[in-house]
Amino acid sequence: MKRLLLATAAGALLAGAAGAEEIKMGMSLGFTGPLESMAPGMAAGAELAMKEVSESGLLLDGSTVVPVQGDSTCTDAAAATATVERLITAEGVRGIVGGMCSGETIASLQNVAVPNGVVMISPSATSPALSTIDDNGLFFRTSPSDARQGEIMAEIMMEKGVQNAAVTYTNNDYGKGLADAFAAAFQEKGGTVTVNAAHDDGKADYSAEVAALAAAGGDALVVAGYVDQGGSGIVRAALDTGAFDRFVFPDGMVGQALVDNFGSEIDGSFGQNPAAEGEGRDKFLAMAEEAGFDGTSAYSAEAYDAAALMLLSMAAAKSSDPNVWKNSVMDVANAPGEQILPGDLAKALEIINGGGDVDYVGASAVEMVEPGESAGTFREVSFENGEMTVVGYR
């Protein structure tokens, strides 16, 4: 029996050290739930990177990459935990692109990924709580923390001369994190937050919430909610009662749905969401079009980058063991080294295999800051004449 175990262990070691293997990569995304319209674009982005690497034949002596999808539901932490558990223990994935929403990501990371030593790179979980979480170096994200978004939002508001504002947020990890980060940044810049109150999604009527916000007053109302949920309800009630006519919209609200819902009623409002510009993004959009999906879909580019970062880190660490390659992620993502855009993954693998250094830029201009999250570029938008226009990037 002992000999058999030894033989198996030796065999496993051999297989790990040399020769091509089939590397399974998990995806824990909310294919059902409140953000289900975004998940297919994200999965397509991640799979595009995996296919590119797999077909190059340059990863760890010609290993192939197989994607495995799992449904994180976005809102149900127990379901997401079960999904990640399955990906790790039953499928034996070597890394996970996910989760999608902050609360669900925190739960599956703490309960499954960290105890099992598997890396998760989230394309879209933005809660500041994930910056300080105890993750053994196993968690990264290619999207910026909302703490950063809070600063950017405060900056834009100050430039527009909004000195005091009321804040309402959707009652979950994302909303609370963003609202608190914003309030801190805004006050630091000399602004006044008149009230910082939660609203629950899925209510029929938000007039009571808006009455409270109106009583506190302010030049503008910051709505850190979801456009398909209570966020729009708040804006509707605020417009109807005349409580506010100027709004500031963070990423959960910026979308075509907002324009469809309110048209020119929200003229003079503004907002921002994470989105990069530049050569990498253009290249990714072209590749996405060729592959038959919409690359502009929210967080699709970030998902591509998450998958690409994982695979390049494996190559750099010369191992598919997450506990080994987790240490290479920051090196691969940042300077020094040759800049890598989407579609250049084969070139990147060649450089790495030849002992060189790469600086992964990717589709969303990845620049990782400690503790393993994107520094982030934001797109500033404004609403005029019933239309949303992009003002610039910062």
Percent helix, strand and coil across the chain, each rounded to 5? Answer: 45, 20, 35
Tell me the one-letter amino acid at 38: M
Q: How far apart are CA 215 and CA 194, in angstroms?
A: 9
Binding segment toward another protein, per CB under 8 A, in 182-190, 207-215, 291-299, 334-342:
207-215
CB of 166: closest distance to another protein in angstroms? 11
Between strands 368-369 and 373-374, the pairing is antiparallel
Residues numbered 317 to 346 that lie near another protein (CB under 8 A) are none
Among 68, 133, 184, 198, binds another protein (CB under 8 A): 198
Binding segment toward another protein, per CB under 8 A, in 2-10, 65-73, 214-222, 268-276:
214-222
Residue 267 contacts another protein per CB under 8 A: no
Cβ distance 270 to 248 under 8 Å? yes
Residue 197 contacts another protein per CB under 8 A: yes
Residue 209 contacts another protein per CB under 8 A: yes
Residue 375 contacts another protein per CB under 8 A: no
Q: Which is nearer to another protein, 212 or 369 (CB)?
A: 212
Q: How far, CA to CA in Å, does 289 sit from each of 2, 47, 218, 283?
A: 55, 14, 44, 10
Cβ distance 28 to 99 under 8 Å? yes
Among 16, 137, 217, 278, binds another protein (CB under 8 A): 217
Residues whose CB is less than 8 angstroms from the CB of residue 343 and which lie 6 or more positions away in sequence, other chains included: 52, 283, 284, 287
Is the preceding peptide bond at 99 cis, omega within 30 degrees of 0? yes
Residue 241 contacts another protein per CB under 8 A: yes
User: What DSSP line would sit under 317-335, residue for residue?
Assistant: HT---HHHHGGGHHHHHSS
Among 161, 190, 242, 355, binds another protein (CB under 8 A): 242
Site string for another protein, 167-196 (x = CB under 8 A): ----x-----------------------x-
Residue 291 contacts another protein per CB under 8 A: no
Q: Which residues in this chain contact another protein in the complex, by CB under 8 A?
A: 171, 195, 197-200, 202-205, 207-209, 211-212, 214-217, 233, 240-242
